[in-house]
Amino acid sequence: MPRHFLDLDRFDENTLRQLLCLGEEFKKGNSHSQAPLSGKTLAMVFEQPSTRTRVSFEVGMRQLGGDVVLLSESESQLGRGETIADTARVLSRYVDGIMLRTKSSENLEELAQHSTVPVINGLTDLTHPCQILADIMTFEQHKGPITGRRVAWLGDGNNVAASWIQASVKLGFPLCLGCPQGFGPEATLIEWAISEGGDVLLTEDPEEAVRGVDCIVTDVWVSMGDRDPKRRHELLQPYQVNQRIMSLAKNSAIFMHCLPAHRGEEVTADVIDGPQSVVWDEAENRLHAQKGVLAWCMS
């Protein structure tokens, strides 16, 4: 069975810590071998647009001594109906790992099921684990160990929020999500978190969600593939992260956003461009954290 990196809930705390540690070592430049993936190739398959995931995986692979091949849905036979299963079987004969960004988590499952090389989740409609690994790394670089620290998610309970919930359970930190009715995370995910003993709370009150927290996280109101942007904007407006919302968190709280951001919508410019924002470190850490994932999966 290849070492896939599909979702955070499939790992135990020790393995997540091992991945983060590997990423840290690469960032510091003192890992045992700086080219552990020499001679290896990663296929990067994109069914959706990307800036950070695309560039950080490609640069990361090259820094680890490997190479990449890029496939988009429209420019490959995927766009003409070749199945994910057949694509997995074929790519497995050429490359040593596959990273997929997809509109449907079922495509990721199908790819992993039929691939004989490791598969990495580069975002689905349901989760974004590489992002949250980088986010945890960023939190800890600024504020120390995350275990027991309080994090608030404000806005749409989307794919990024789902991976935060999984991280909260696995790494043991309280997470409070402030989301409007109908835009919370899937009920089954909250039920899972509670059944695992996680400290995950869902509220419709944005102020309750952020009071006294160490970190406020948000994301776009309209994710790739979402419909009805007008309704989303109306309902999500009270969940905007602005100075008033930041002032309810700890004075030392940080602000995080996976990017791309829409200033004036989910976050005001004075917050994302202000002193509490760590969004550029977060973007940089995609590279380091994913080098940990690539080395763990493929070396």
What residue 51 binds from ligand NVA, ligand CP, none (CB within 5 to 8 A, per partner kind)?
ligand CP
DSSP 185: P
What is the nearest approach in angstroms of ligand NVA to the Cβ of residue 247? 26
Residue 297 CA to residue 299 CA, distance in Å, equals: 6
Query: Is 99 an interacting residue with respect to ligand NVA (CB under 6 A)?
Result: no
The one among 88, 112, 160, 253 contacting ligand NVA by CB under 6 A: 160
Query: Is 259 an interacting residue with respect to ligand CP (CB under 6 A)?
Result: yes
**Per-residue contact flags (x/-) with ligand CP for residues 215 to 254, judged by CB under 6 A:** ----------------------------------------
Q: Quick one: 36 or 180, whose CB is closer to ligand NVA?
A: 180
What is the nearest approach in angstroms of ligand CP to the Cβ of residue 255? 15
Restricting to residues 140-159, which ones interact with ligand NVA according to CB under 6 A? 158-159
Q: Is 131 an annotated catalytic residue?
A: yes
The one among 152, 249, 258, 297 contacting ligand NVA by CB under 6 A: 258
Tokens 């599909």 belong to which residue?
A: 6
Give the residue from 223, 7, 199 showing the smallest Cα distance to 100.
7
Give the residue from 293, 233, 298, 297 showing the smallest Cα distance to 57.
293
Q: Cβ-closest residue to ligand NVA?
A: 223
**Choosing from 128, 150, 232, 257, which is the catalytic residue?**
128
144-160: buried (b, 16+ CB within 10 Å) or exposed (e) per residue? eebeebbbbbbbbbbbb
Q: Quick one: 9 or 156, whose CB is closer to ligand NVA?
A: 156
**Choosing from 131, 166, 240, 276, which is the catalytic residue?**
131
Query: Is 293 an interacting residue with respect to ligand CP (CB under 6 A)?
Result: no
Within 10 angstroms of residue 98's Cβ, the number of other Cβ atoms is: 28
Query: Is 165 an interacting residue with respect to ligand NVA (CB under 6 A)?
Result: no
Query: Is 224 an interacting residue with respect to ligand NVA (CB under 6 A)?
Result: yes
DSSP 193: H
**Per-residue contact flags (x/-) with ligand CP for residues 87 to 126, judged by CB under 6 A:** ------------------------------------x---
Alpha helices per DSSP H over the chain: 13-28, 52-63, 84-94, 105-114, 129-143, 159-171, 187-195, 206-210, 229-236, 243-248, 269-272, 279-298
What residue 242 binds from ligand CP, ligand NVA, none (CB within 5 to 8 A, per partner kind)?
none
Residue 6 CA to residue 129 CA, distance in Å, equals: 7
Q: For helices 52-63 and 279-298, give the axis angle rounded to 10 degrees.
A: 50
Residue 246 CA to residue 243 CA, distance in Å, equals: 5
Residue 43 CA to residue 96 CA, distance in Å, equals: 8
At 41 the three-state DSSP class reads strand
The structure tokens listed for 205 are: 């009150």
Q: Is 290 an annotated catalytic residue?
A: no
The one among 38, 51, 77, 147 contacting ligand CP by CB under 6 A: 51
Residue numbers of the site for ligand CP (CB under 6 A)?
50-53, 123, 131, 258-259
* Residues that are catalytic: 101, 128, 131, 219, 258, 286
